[in-house]
């Protein structure tokens, strides 16, 4: 969470869809709940500041998050929701020192805006995919709708049925996926929502596959061919991507990549960057 994006090299995603911790009031470190697990060393309720969050909204253990049991923080990205809620929705007025309801308002709308920003990420990427050209007008319209919703007032955002909007966007993203994958070579396997936890997929041919929502936790994808695969919502925590080829894979986000394992031989699409911990022994 706090500051981990500063470790990255440049990414082609628009700046407003990348977390800018320096412009945020530490919202992810307060608004979100943690459950004690391999990703978080402690339990924390939603709306309660993490004990490691300093008063300047920086993380007090940023340099040693993984060693201290907070690897979940190094994986997370808000897609730019934090700076929007802090600087735009709430006009740059800090929750610290203010009335409790201001803080509660920020913490309540942050997850809503985060979901909308994630949708903006997918829609922005869809508009870069040449095979999706027949849908570009619809994609642009939906992008504008989503942007308008994300720019709502605190009250409008709190009342928004974000799940219903997600569903509408998803219909369009599914059509995009079909167009893009139709151009991929091979059998284009359907593994949508498949339970592939711990699966041995070393060297597997998954080019152009539909891996939407697939559970690939700790799957061995060493050397797998994932070119042109749809990876939206696939759970890649601890998936082994060493020497895998993800060139042209789409709807893959930085948090998914951050949660996986990989190395210098992993080929990634241009939409994401290589996590620093892949080369730092993490």
Q: Note the residues at the interface with ligand SF4 (CB under 6 A).
A: 1-2, 29, 50, 52-53, 59, 61, 70, 73
Measured from the CB atom, the residue of 52 and 177 that comes closer to ligand SF4 is 52
User: Exposure pattern of 34-64 as b/e (b: 16+ CB <10 Å)?
Assistant: beeeebbbeebeeeebbebbeeebebebbee
- Smallest separation, CB 158 to ligand SF4 (Å): 23
Are the CB atoms for 25 and 87 separated by under 8 Å? no
Q: Which is nearer to ligand SF4, 1 or 232 (CB)?
A: 1
Nearer to ligand SF4, 2 or 261 (CB): 2
Contact 79, 256 (CB under 8 A): no
Q: How far is the CB of 33 from ligand SF4 (least distance, A)?
A: 11
Supply the minimum distance, in Å, between the C-beta of residue 14 and ligand SF4.
23
Smaller CB separation from ligand SF4, 82 or 262: 82
DSSP character string of 76-96 = ---TTHHHHIIIIITTT--ST
Measured from the CB atom, is 85 or 119 closer to ligand SF4?
Answer: 85
Q: How far is the CB of 259 from ligand SF4 (least distance, A)?
A: 15
Output the DSSP codes for 159-189.
H--HHHHHHHHHHHHHHHHHHHHHTSSS---
**CA-atom Rg of the chain in angstroms:** 19
Q: Residue 78 contacts by C-beta under 8 Å, 6 or more apart in sequence?
A: 19, 24, 27, 28, 110, 114, 117
- Min. distance of Cβ 49 from ligand SF4 in angstroms? 8
Do 207 and 227 contact (CB within 8 A), yes or no?
yes
Closer by beta carbon to ligand SF4, 30 or else 224: 30
Shortest separation between residue 106's beta carbon and ligand SF4, angstroms? 15
Of 53 and 135, the one with the shorter C-beta distance to ligand SF4 is 53
Phi, psi angle pair for 68, to nearest 5°: -90, 5
CA-nearest of 166, 167, 170, 90 to 126 is 170
**Closest separation in Å from C-beta 42 to ligand SF4:** 9
- In terms of phi and psi (left: phi > 0; alpha: psi -120 to 50; beta: otherwise), the region of 259 is alpha
Instruction: Compute the least distance from the CB of residue 80 to ligand SF4, in Å.
Output: 17
CA-CA distance, 26 to 198, in Å (whole number)?
A: 34
């Amino acid at each position: 969470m706090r500051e981990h994006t500063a470790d990255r090299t440049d990414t082609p995603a628009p700046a407003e869809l990348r977390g800018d911790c320096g412009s945020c009031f530490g919202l992810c470190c307060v608004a979100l709940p943690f459950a004690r697990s391999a990703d978080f060393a402690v339990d924390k309720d939603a709306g309660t500041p993490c004990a490691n969050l300093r008063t300047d909204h920086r993380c007090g253990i940023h340099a040693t998050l993984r060693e201290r049991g907070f690897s979940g923080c190094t994986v997370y990205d808000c897609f730019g929701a934090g700076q929007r809620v802090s600087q735009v929705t709430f006009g740059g007025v800090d929750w610290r020192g203010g009335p409790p309801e201001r803080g509660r308002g920020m913490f309540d709308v942050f997850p809503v805006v985060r979901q909308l920003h994630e949708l903006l990420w997918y829609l922005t990427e869809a508009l870069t995919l040449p095979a999706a050209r027949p849908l570009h007008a619809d994609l642009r319209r939906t992008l504008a709708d989503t942007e308008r919703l994300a720019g709502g007032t605190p009250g409008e955002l709190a009342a928004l049925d974000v799940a219903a909007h997600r569903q509408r966007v998803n219909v369009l993203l599914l059509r995009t996926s079909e167009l893009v994958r139709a151009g991929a070579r091979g059998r284009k396997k359907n593994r949508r929502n498949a339970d592939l936890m711990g699966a041995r997929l070393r060297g597997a041919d998954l080019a152009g596959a539909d891996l939407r929502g697939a559970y690939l936790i700790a799957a061995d994808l060493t050397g797998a061919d994932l070119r042109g695969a749809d990876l939206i919502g696939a759970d890649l925590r601890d998936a082994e991507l060493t020497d895998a080829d993800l060139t042209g894979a789409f709807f893959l986000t930085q948090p998914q990549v951050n949660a996986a394992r990989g190395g210098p031989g992993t080929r990634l699409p241009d939409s994401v960057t290589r996590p620093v911990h892949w080369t730092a022994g993490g």
